[in-house]
Amino acid sequence: MNLFRLAGDVSHLLAIIILLLKIWRTRSCAGISGKSQILFALVFTTRYLDLLTTFISFYNTTMKVIYIGCSYATVWMIYAKFKATYDSNHDTFRMEFLVIPIAALSLLVNHDFAPLEILWTFSIYLESVAILPQLFMVSKTGEAETITSHYLFALGLYRALYLMNWIWRFFAEGFFDLIAIVAGLVQTILYCDFFYLYITKVLKGKKLSLPA
Amino acid sequence: REFTFIHDEL
């Protein structure tokens, strides 16, 4: 564990909690892509199956359980509890366009052709693009609530911090996982345009709106 | 061959 990774995990946790609290306290999931949240629930489920087979540390297990629990709670709020506020007309990204090619890719490019390993690989690839329905929704409506942009920033920052963690681990331990690194790079690059808007607009007190 | 990958990150 190094500082980059800890900061990355905290940023990830913060993102998840910001989103949960936003929906719970406003009693509304307006502007939130349920499809991205379904994809994240799928990411956590397929990645953390090792909870059943391998014990790494108390920290590791606790965080995994929290991520999975929060992610299902979010999906439940969007599709059940606050369904009436869910903006499905703007959440039109086709999930199968991501899930099917990624399932195929994880069968072809993985560390080991074993069920758990393939599911782990699938989750890494899927996570890298799972935010696309949300970004698509923001670009479709042309704006995002400030709290939603804080969520997106924390979520994007998490993988950027993990990239630094991987650089650290490469030099400190000689550890590198090419699948995670390439997918993490793709994931971080997808956020770059948003990071730019966040820094130039939201941090200056303006709402995130895209030029018409 | 009984090697399984341990993914220690989240």
Using CB atoms and an 8 Å cut-off, which of residues 1-10 of chain B contact chain A? Answer: 3-10
**Model pLDDT, residue B1:** 43
Residue in A closest to B3 by C-alpha: A112
Q: How many residues does chain A have?
A: 212
Percent pLDDT > 90 in chain A is 95
| Residues A57-79 pLDDT 10s | 999 999 999 999 999 999 999 99
CB pairs under 8 A between A and B: 29
Amino acid at A108: L
Cα distance between the two ends of chain A:
44
Reported ipTM: the value is 0.86
Inter-chain residue contact A112 with B7, CB threshold 8 Å: no
Picking from B3, B4, B8, the nearest residue to A56 by CB comes out as B8
Whose structure tokens read 């359980």? A65
